[in-house]
Structure 1
């Protein structure tokens, strides 16, 4: 059975549509609200994926 991408699936990295995000580390430390560009840079630098947890929050 193949996974079908739909609107309800979790967005990661460049799939995230928000211009700003609330960045939280794996340990739960809040790094603050940053641009998606900065968040992607930080995630890449740490060898991790950026995962959208609460898409309906402001900011997500």
Structure 2
């Protein structure tokens, strides 16, 4: 998720978006790395779910 300009002042909104994405994708995978800021980007790593 890339923040531009004034969006940097509202990083909590980006964190909420990634949390919602995590919940929506739970059946398909799990979080390997929780959201963290890297410069102007908030990065979260997901891994695919194991097949049954």
TM-score of the superposition, structure 1-length normalised? 0.30
Q: Which has the higher helix share?
A: 2
- Normalization by structure 2: what TM-score? 0.33
Give the number of the structure whose residues are more often strand, by fraction: 2
